[in-house]
């Protein structure tokens, strides 16, 4: 359920045992939420703040909303991009393909 409980009292499910990406840092956040719930507090996981990664070459990572999601929600945003060609570490290891894109709320960023 929304508190990560199973149909067995006193057993909760997190990580790979529930829906969503199979990432250790997602399971960690879910585990913290379960402990908070057991302690009588409000356990919550902000899934929009959990990074995702695809281990390919080059790697792909994301966190937060996509441009499409922001447009659909009518959120005004600023967009910035940074070429990996300008990144010293990427240049040092001769791996300059790709870029970083940052989307930020226009009102708060």
**So what's the pLDDT on residue 58?**
82
**So what's the pLDDT on residue 55?**
87
**So what's the pLDDT on residue 38?**
94
* Cβ neighbours for 67, distance < 8 A, ≥ 6 positions apart: 77, 79, 103
Dihedral (CA of 14, 16, 18, 24) sign: positive
**Phi, psi (degrees; rounded to nearest 5) at 80:** -130, 145
What are the tens digits of pLDDT across the range 5-43?
999 999 999 999 999 888 899 999 999 999 999 999 999
Comparing CA positions, the residue from 103, 99, 14 lying closest to residue 63 is 103
What are the tens digits of pLDDT across the range 37-80?
999 999 999 998 999 888 888 888 999 999 999 999 999 999 99
């Amino acid at each position: 359920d929304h508190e990560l409980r199973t149909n067995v009292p006193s057993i909760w499910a997190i990580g790979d045992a529930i829906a969503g990406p199979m990432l250790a840092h997602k399971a960690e956040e879910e585990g913290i939420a379960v402990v908070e719930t057991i302690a009588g507090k409000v356990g919550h996981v902000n899934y929009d703040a959990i990074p995702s990664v695809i281990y390919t070459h080059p790697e792909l990572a994301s966190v937060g909303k996509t441009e499409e999601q922001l447009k659909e929600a009518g959120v005004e945003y600023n967009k910035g991009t940074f070429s990996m060609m300008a990144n010293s570490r990427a240049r040092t290891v001769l791996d300059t393909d790709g870029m970083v894109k940052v989307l930020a709320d226009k009102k708060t960023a």
